[in-house]
Structure 1
Amino acid sequence: MSKIIELVEQLTTPILNDMNLELVDVEFVKEGSNWFLRIYIDKENGVDIEECGQVSERLSEKLDELDPIQQNYFLEVSSPGAERPLKKEKDFQKAVGKNVFVKTYEPIDGKKEIEGVLTSYDGVSLEIAVTIKTRKKTMTIPTEKVAKARLAVSFS
C-alpha cells in the first residue's frame, strides 16, 4: 500500500509543480467493496474544480501508462477542505496561530483528543492553547505522540 502511495506521490509532484500546486496528501483506501485513490491538492488561495479536473486527467494518463495498481479503483482529486490534515513539518508551521484538532496515541494530561490554537511548533513538539470551561491552559504535545492532526473550524 505504501509503495502505491509513494509512486503516486512521485507521479503527481511534477504535474503539481507545473501547475504551481501543492500536494497535501495521498490516500489509497478500501471503503466497502470499492478502492479509492484520493489526491488532495492546494495552493495559497485554494484550488478550484477546474484545477482538480486537470490534475485528475494528467495523473490518470500517467497511471494508465504505468498501470501500477492491480485493483479497480476510483481516482478522486480534491481540495483538502477547511479541516485539512496536518502531516508534514511545513503543514504544522503554516498552522501556527490557527485552531487545530489533535488525536494522540496515548493520553496527555488525561486527554487523547485536544482542540485549541496552535501557538508554536518547533519540529519536536506542538504547543496548543486550550480552553477548559473558562480556564486557559497551554499543552505541550511531543510530535511522536501525534496520531492525527488537522485544522479545525471554530464557530466562536
Structure 2
Amino acid sequence: MPRFAPLPRARVPAISPLLLDIGNLAEVGATGADAGGAYLESETRLADIAALERLIEPEAQALGLSLVRVAMFGGKSDPTLQVMAERPDTRQLDIADCEALSRRISDVLDEHDPIEEAYRLEVSSPGIDRPLTRSQDYADWAGFDARVKLSETIEGRKQIDGKLLGLADGTVTMQIRAKDKSLQPFAFPLAFVASAKLLLTDELIRATAPLDAAGAEEEEIEDAMLDAEGVDQELEEGQD
C-alpha cells in the first residue's frame, strides 16, 4: 500500500483589494467525478469552473503539481475561488508550493479575467480527509474508508459509507455493512457520484503521516486524530 504524506492544509490566500456588490450568487455543482461544468452564478457573468480548470491546470503542472479540485464558495458576502493541488509523488503541498502556485494563478486570472467580480483566492493541499475528485483517486485510495453521495438512489441508498475497493470499467466498488450485518460489496457507476471524500480514521492518519512536518501545526494534527476517533466510533456503531 503506498504511503502518501499530505501536510495539513496550508492556505496562502490572495485577496482582492475590494469586494464588490456582485448581486445574487449561487453555487451550482456538476455531478460525477472528473465532471466539469460547475458554475458560480451572478447577475453579470457565470464563472465556468471547467474553464477555470483549463486555465489553472497548466500553471500547476508547470510547478510539477497535480490539480485536485477547483471550486467556488462563500456566496455574495465572501466569494472564494478554492484551488487544491498536490505533488503527485508525496501528496504534499508545502508553503513554498502554495505561494508559487498562488502567484501563477493570480497572474493568469488577471490576464484572462474569467471572473468579473472581485473574489478571494485560496490555494491549499487536499488535507487528510481529502475529496475524491478524479477517477484515479478511487484506485489510489482503495482500502480506506470513504463517504460517497450519489446523484441517483441505488438500491435505496443515496449515501454510502464504507471501504473503497477500487474502480474498474467506470464502476466504483465499496465494501459496506448490509442490513444483516454482513460485509457486502456495493457497486455503482462513477458517473453517479455527486461528491466523495475520505473519512478520517486512525488507519488513514497513520498512512498519511507527514514525511516532513515542517509547517504542520501540531494542534491541527491533534484535531485530526480526535476527529478520526469520532469517525471510527460512528463506523463501529453502524456495524453493531
TM value normalised by structure 2: 0.59
Deviating runs (4+, > 6 A) in structure 1? none
Matched letter for residue 79 of structure 1:
S
Q: Report the Cα offset of residue 153 of structure 1.
A: 1.5
**Alpha-carbon distance in structure 2 between the residues aligned to 1:73 and 1:112:** 33
- Which residue type is aligned with residue 6 of structure 1? A
Task: State how far apart, in whole Å, the 1-side matches of 2:138 and 2:156 are.
Answer: 23
> Of residues 98, 108, 118 in structure 2, which corresponds to 1:72?
118
Q: Which residue of 1 aligns with 2:143?
A: 97
Q: Is the 8 A contact 1:23 1:41 kept in 2?
A: yes
Q: 1:141 aligned to 184, 188, 193, which one?
A: 188
One-letter identity of the residue aligned with 2:85: I
Supply the AA of the counterpart residue of 2:110.
Answer: D
Q: Given residue 141 of structure 2, which amino acid in structure 1 is its aligned partner?
A: A
1:31, distance to aligned residue in structure 2 (A): 2.4
Residue identity over aligned pairs, in percent, reads: 32
In terms of Rg, which structure is larger?
Answer: 2
Task: Using the TM superposition, give the Cα deviation of residue 125 of structure 1 relative to its aligned residue in structure 2, in angstroms.
Answer: 1.3
> Which residue of structure 2 lines up, in the alignment, with residue 57 of structure 1?
103
Distance 2:81 2:73 in 1: 7
Measured in 2, the distance between the counterparts of 1:69 and 1:127 equals 38
Alpha-carbon deviation of 1:40?
A: 0.6
- Identify the structure with the greater strand proportion: 1
- Structure 1 gap segments, 5+ residues each: none
Contact 2:52/2:114 (8 A) holds in 1: no
Instruction: Tell me the secondary structure at the aligned position of residue 117 of structure 2.
Output: coil
Q: Which residue of 1 aligns with 2:164?
A: 118
Residue deviations 1:81-109, cap 9 Å, x none? 12222222212221222221111123333
Q: Deviations over 1:9-56 (max 9, x none)?
A: 222222211211100011123425221111110123211122111100
Residue segments in structure 2 that go unaligned for 5+ positions in a row = 1-38, 40-45, 202-227, 233-240
Give the Cα–Cα distance (whole angstroms) in 1 for the partners of residues 113 and 107 of structure 2.
Answer: 10
Count of paired positions: 156
SS for the counterpart of 1:83 is coil
Report the 3-state secondary structure (helix = DSSP H, G, I; strand = E; otherwise coil) of the residue aligned with 1:113: strand
Is 1:28 aligned with 2:72? yes
Aligned to 1:17: 61
Partner of 2:14: none
Secondary structure in 2 matching 1:150: strand
2 CA distance for matches of 1:93 and 1:57? 32
RMSD of Structure 2 on Structure 1 (CA) = 2.1
Distance 2:164 2:58 in 1: 31
Cα pair 1:89 1:123 within 8 Å, conserved: no
